[in-house]
């Protein structure tokens, strides 16, 4: 029987100023997904974790992606997937994107790599749509491509893989609930030209900084004048964590995806680890449990751990 086991990483979307268009893969946390190719057309979803996610394939983020692939390619085969999630749903660390991108890549490997990366992104976006109502690819793209990606467009799919600077990421996930759908609903539907111009400068500066490996330019560009001022209100201690992380030497950072996780980029592991302690201490003081992760930017994205193809 053909089978494959994947390590599917967390991702940080938006990268502060690039709402819905920029994202990066990190190393920790990650999900594990094991796929078997079946001779019969069923899609079977099993979970090894305690998140109580639906196992009906049409209601499951990985399941819907597999159903779309099966339908579109008119497959007579089915798939069995066992998912062990470590990326908590609703964390802002790309949990749904990991399940969706993992499903697309796992199915593709079992089918003999017949899909391009962009086709995998296309199918994986059905999973994001199920999870949040929106077909965005800013978490899916770095999961599939690795490193940092720019989603220039989703219709048609136009993904630009960018360089992955040698930086450290500290991410904290406070245990408070912020639903992506809610944190999208509170956003303003229109913005001033002044704010738009400022944001375009930041996004262009960030992409240029990443491509030129100009670390100070990356730091200067990690500013969001549109989304962060609205969403940060939903995240306890956001302003304090950001201010103190910058004072400790972080290059910059902000909300990870739609929150509640917060991330910071640093040039050294030492600074990234000091910021991890700071984040945890701030949440401990107000009795909010939190998980903190320190890792480098992950240049590979999804990795195959075992295969029998």
- Summarize as ranges the residues that interact with ligand HSE (CB under 6 A): 13-14, 19-20, 132, 136, 138-139, 180, 184, 257-258
Annotated catalytic residue within 11, 149, 154, 180: 180
Closer residue to ligand HSE (CB): 186 or 300:
186
Q: How far is the CB of 211 from ligand HSE (least distance, A)?
A: 21
Q: How far is the CB of 159 from ligand HSE (least distance, A)?
A: 14
Closer residue to ligand HSE (CB): 20 or 244:
20
Closer residue to ligand HSE (CB): 110 or 265:
265
Closer residue to ligand HSE (CB): 106 or 257:
257
Q: How far is the CB of 302 from ligand HSE (least distance, A)?
A: 17
Q: How far is the CB of 43 from ligand HSE (least distance, A)?
A: 24
Q: Rounded CA gap, 248 and 244, in Å?
A: 6
Catalytic residue status for 180: yes
Annotated catalytic residue within 28, 34, 128, 228: 128
Catalytic residue status for 155: no
Two structure tokens written together for 89? 């749903």
**Which residues belong to the active site?**
128, 180
């Amino acid at each position: 029987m053909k089978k494959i086991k994947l390590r599917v990483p967390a991702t940080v979307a938006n990268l502060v100023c690039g709402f819905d268009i920029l994202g990066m893969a990190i190393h920790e946390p990650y999900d594990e997904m094991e796929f078997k190719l079946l001779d019969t057309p069923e899609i079977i979803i099993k979970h090894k974790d305690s998140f109580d996610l639906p196992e009906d394939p049409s209601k499951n983020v990985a399941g819907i992606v597999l159903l779309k692939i099966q339908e579109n390619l008119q497959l007579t085969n089915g798939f069995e997937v066992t998912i062990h999630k470590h990326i908590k749903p609703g964390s802002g660390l790309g949990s749904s994107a990991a399940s969706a991108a993992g499903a697309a890549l796992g199915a593709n490997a079992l089918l003999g790599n017949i899909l391009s990366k962009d086709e995998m992104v296309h199918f994986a976006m059905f999973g994001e749509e199920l999870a949040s109502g929106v077909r965005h690819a800013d978490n899916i793209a770095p999961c599939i491509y690795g490193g940092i990606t720019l989603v220039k467009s989703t219709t048609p799919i136009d993904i630009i893989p960018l360089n992955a600077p040698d930086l450290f990421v500290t991410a904290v996930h406070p245990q408070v609930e912020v639903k992506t759908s809610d944190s999208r609903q509170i956003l303003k539907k229109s913005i001033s030209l002044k704010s738009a111009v400022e944001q375009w400068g930041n996004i262009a500066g960030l992409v240029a900084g990443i491509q030129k490996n100009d670390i100070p330019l990356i730091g200067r560009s990690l500013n969001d004048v549109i989304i962060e001022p609205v969403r940060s209100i939903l995240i306890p201690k956001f302003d304090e964590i950001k201010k103190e992380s910058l004072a400790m030497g972080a290059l910059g950072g902000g909300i990870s995806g739609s929150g509640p996780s917060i991330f910071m980029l640093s040039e050294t592991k030492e600074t990234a680890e000091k910021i991890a302690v700071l984040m945890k201490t701030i949440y401990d003081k107000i009795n909010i449990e939190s998980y903190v992760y320190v890792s480098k930017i992950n240049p590979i994205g999804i990795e195959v751990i075992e295969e029998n193809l």
